[in-house]
Amino acid sequence: MSTPVLETENLVKVYGRGAARFDALKGLTFEIHDGESVAIVGKSGSGKSTLMHLLALLDEPTAGVVALEGSPVSQLDPKKVSRLRNETFGFVFQQFFLNANQSVLDNVTLPLKIGGWGRSQRNERGMEVLEQLEIADKAKNRATDLSGGQKQRVCIARALVNRPSVIFADEPTGNLDSATSEVVEDILFGLHRDQGITLVVVTHDEELAGRCERRLHMQDGLIVAEEHGVITPGQLDTTFDPAQLGLEDEEDRA
Ligand X SMILES: Nc1ncnc2c1ncn2[C@@H]1O[C@H](COP(=O)(O)OP(=O)(O)OP(=O)(O)O)[C@@H](O)[C@H]1O
List contacts with Mg ion (CB under 5 A).
Answer: 49
Instruction: Tell me which stretch binds ligand X (CB under 6 A): 37-45, 63-71, 154-162, 232-240.
Output: 37-45
DSSP 205-226: -HHHHHHSSEEEEEETTEEEEE
CB-nearer residue toward Mg ion: 138 or 217:
217
The helix/strand/coil state of 57 is coil
Measure the N-to-C terminal CA separation of the chain; round to a whole number of Å: 45
Total length of the chain = 254
Total residues in contact with ligand X, by rule CB under 6 A = 12
Binding residue (CB under 6 A) for ligand X from 18, 19, 44, 252: 44
Q: Which does 45 bind (CB under 5 to 8 A by kind): ligand X, Mg ion, none?
A: ligand X
Binding residue (CB under 6 A) for ligand X from 8, 37, 49, 203: 49
As to burial, measured by CB atoms within 10 angstroms (0-12 exposed, 13-18 middle, 19+ buried), residue 244 is exposed
Is 200 an interacting residue with respect to ligand X (CB under 6 A)?
no
User: According to DSSP H, which parts of 89-240 are helical?
Assistant: 104-108, 110-114, 119-132, 148-160, 178-195, 206-211, 236-239
Is 96 an interacting residue with respect to ligand X (CB under 6 A)?
no
Is 50 an interacting residue with respect to ligand X (CB under 6 A)?
yes
CB-nearer residue toward ligand X: 44 or 238:
44
